[in-house]
Amino acid sequence: MQSPPASPEELAALEARIDDWLARESSENPAIDAVERDTGDDVRWFVRLLGEEKDVWTAWLTLGQRTLRYETFLMPAPEENEAAFYAHLLRRNRKLTGLNLEIGDEEAIFLAGSLPVVAVTDAELDRILGSMWAAVELTFKPALRIGFASRFDG
């Protein structure tokens, strides 16, 4: 069952809560390198994160009338070993909670999920970014070594 749409007032309050949470987190969390807001029609934040396996990546948080969608670009489509690459990602997908590995534009690989707006809390925002960070750390290098193996030879 789909969540009911949030009212403009509820969305404005949630937007302010996310702004406040990101401001606090960006000053306290060393993994957050920068936070920017979309200046277009969408209510979207770009959170640049510092990783260990993937040095820098950006999480996009997009607030809609019913959901908060979160996603990040993981890597381009594989250059080789496609069957093993996608099998690896499907096996990783089974271990993710609240996130999915997806094929997006130009066959690129994304990590994404969504949450009903009524469920967005500071604790959930923390869980989302933490889960994304952990999933990128666990998934990126092994998938890269499979899908771009010849770049690592010799």
pLDDT digits (tens, 9 = 90+) for 95-119: 999 999 999 989 999 999 999 999 9
Report if residue 126 sits inside a domain.
yes
Cα 146 to Cα 51: distance, rounded to the nearest angstrom: 20
Q: pTM here?
A: 0.92
pLDDT tens digit sequence for 59-104: 999 999 999 999 999 999 999 999 999 999 999 999 999 999 999 9
Which pLDDT score is estimated for 98?
Answer: 92
Report if residue 152 sits inside a domain.
no
* H-helix segments, 52-116: 82-93
Report if residue 154 sits inside a domain.
no
Could you tell me the CATH number of the domain that includes residue 28? Answer: 3.30.1460.10
Domain count, the chain: 1
The whole-number average pLDDT for the span 18-29 is 97
- Dihedral of alpha carbons 22, 23, 26, 29, sign: negative
CA 92 centroid distance within chain: 15
At 8, is the pLDDT very low, low, confident or very high (cuts 50, 70, 90)?
Answer: very high
State the burial class of residue 124 (Cβ atoms within 10 Å of its Cβ: 0-12, 13-18, 19+). middle
Specify the higher pLDDT residue, 3 or 63. 63
Which pLDDT score is estimated for 72?
Answer: 98
Report if residue 2 sits inside a domain.
no
Domain span at 51: 8-146
